[in-house]
Amino acid sequence: MTSAQLESSATHSRWQERVAVFAMITLTALAMGRLCINEFIMWDDPSTVHQNPWLQPPTLQTIIHYWTTPTGGLYIPVTYTAWATIALFAQVPRDEYGVALNPWLFHSANVLCHLLALLVAYRILRLLNADLFAAFCGALLFGVHPVQVEAVAWVSGLKDVLSGLLALVALWQYVLFSLADIRGRPSLTRYILAIAAFLLAMLAKPSAMALPLAALAIDHWILQRSWRRALPAAIVWLAIALPIALLARHVQDASNTPMPALYLRPLIVCDSLAFYLEKLIWPVPLIFDYSRTPAKVLANGWCYWDWIFPVSLAIFLIAGARRRPILLAAGVIFLAGCLPVLGFTPAMFQYLSTTADHYLYLSMFGPALALAWLLSNYPTAVPRIFTCGVLALLIALTIRQGGYWKDDFTFFSHDTEVNPDSYTGFINLGGTYQRQHNLPAAIAAFRRAVAINPQYPLAVGDLASALNDAGQFDEAILYAWQAVELQTEHPNLRPNWPQDNELLGELLVQKGRFAQAIPYLQTAAGLEPDNQHLAKELIEAKNHAATQPADK
How far is the C-alpha of 462 from the C-alpha of 238, rounded, in Å?
A: 44
**Residue 490: inside a domain, yes or no?**
no
Three-class secondary structure of residue 71 per DSSP: strand
Q: Are residues 534 and 387 in the same domain?
A: no
- Tell me whether residue 431 is in a domain: no
Q: Is 546 exposed, middle or buried (0-12, 13-18, 19+ CB in 10 A)?
A: exposed
| Per-residue pLDDT at 45 | 94
| pLDDT at position 187 | 84
Query: According to the model, what pLDDT value does residue 130 have?
Result: 86
pLDDT at 532: 85
CA–CA separation, 149 vs 163, rounded Å? 16
If asked whether residues 399 and 500 sit together in one domain, one would say: no
- Taking 50 as the threshold, does the pLDDT of residue 552 lie above it? no
Q: Which one, of 522, 500, 499, 518, lies nearest residue 509 by Cα?
A: 518
pLDDT in tens, 370-419: 999 999 999 899 999 999 999 999 999 999 999 999 999 999 999 999 99
Q: 181-186 — which CB contacts under 8 Å span 24+ positions? A: 181/225, 181/229, 182/223, 182/225
CA 146/CA 279 separation, integer angstroms: 9
pLDDT digit string, tens, across residues 414-469? 999 999 999 999 999 999 999 999 999 999 999 999 999 999 999 999 999 999 99
CA distance 460 to 447: 8
pLDDT (tens digit per residue) in 196-210: 999 999 999 999 999
Same domain, 386 and 509: no
The residue out of 403, 422, 438 marking a domain boundary is: 403
Residues 326-384: pLDDT tens digits?
Answer: 999 999 999 999 999 999 988 888 888 999 999 999 999 999 999 999 999 998 999 99
Q: How far is CA 242 from CA 239, 251, 265, 282, 454, in A?
A: 5, 14, 22, 35, 39
pLDDT of residue 11: 57
Mind giving me the DSSP string for 182-200?
Answer: HTT---HHHHHHHHHHHHH
| Radius of gyration for the alpha carbons in the chain, expressed in angstroms and rounded | 26
Q: How confident is the model at residue 97 (pLDDT cuts 50, 70, 90)?
A: confident
Largest CA distance in the chain: 108
Q: Are residues 399 and 521 in the same domain?
A: no
- Is 449 a domain residue? no
Per-residue confidence band for 319, with pLDDT thresholds at 50, 70 and 90: very high
Indicate the residue type of 101.
Answer: L
For residue 543, what are the domain limits?
496-552
Whether 9 shows a pLDDT value over 60: the answer reads: no
* Residue-wise pLDDT tens digits, 534-544: 888 888 888 88
74 φ, ψ (degrees, to nearest 5): -135, 145
Residue 146 lies in a domain: yes
CA distances from 418 to 224, 291, 303, 405 (A): 45, 11, 21, 14
Instruction: Return the pLDDT at 186.
Output: 80
pLDDT 10s digits, 33-69: 999 999 999 999 999 999 999 998 999 999 999 999 9
Asked if 220 and 355 sit in the same domain, the reply is yes
Q: Residue ranges of the alpha helices (H) in 183-307? A: 188-204, 211-217, 227-251, 265-281, 294-300
Q: How many other CB atoms sit within 10 Å of the CB of residue 531? A: 15
Q: What is the residue-wise DSSP string for 400-447?
A: HHHHTTSSHHHHHHHHHHH-TT-HHHHHHHHHHHHHTT-HHHHHHHHH
Residue that finishes a domain, picked among 403, 426, 449: 403
Same domain, 502 and 375: no
Last residue of a domain, one of 370, 403, 436: 403
Structural domain includes residue 264: yes
Mind spelling out the 3-state secondary structure of 290-330?
CCCCHHHHHHHCHHHCCCHHHHHHHHHHHHCCCCCHHHHHH
- Above pLDDT 70, what percent of the chain? 96
| Termini Cα distance of the chain | 104
Q: What residues contact 319, with CB distance under 8 A and at least 6 apart?
A: none
504 and 398 share a domain? no
Residues 85 and 209 in one domain: yes
- Is the domain of 373 the same as that of 511? no
pLDDT band at 551 (very low <50, low <70, confident <90, very high): very low
Q: Are residues 392 and 532 in the same domain?
A: no
Q: For 333-357, give the DSSP string.
A: HHHHHHGGGSSSS--GGGGT-S--G
Q: What is the mean pLDDT of the chain?
A: 91
Residue 451 lies in a domain: no
Residue of higher predicted confidence among 258 and 288? 288
Element (H, E) at 399: helix 381-403
Query: Does residue 529 have a pLDDT over 80?
Result: yes
Q: Answer whether residue 189 is part of any domain.
A: yes
User: Is residue 6 very low, low, confident or very high in pLDDT (cuts 50, 70, 90)?
Assistant: very low
Whether residue 397 lies inside any domain: the answer is yes
Q: Are 141 and 367 in contact (CB under 8 A)?
A: yes
Q: Give me the number of domains the chain comprises.
A: 2
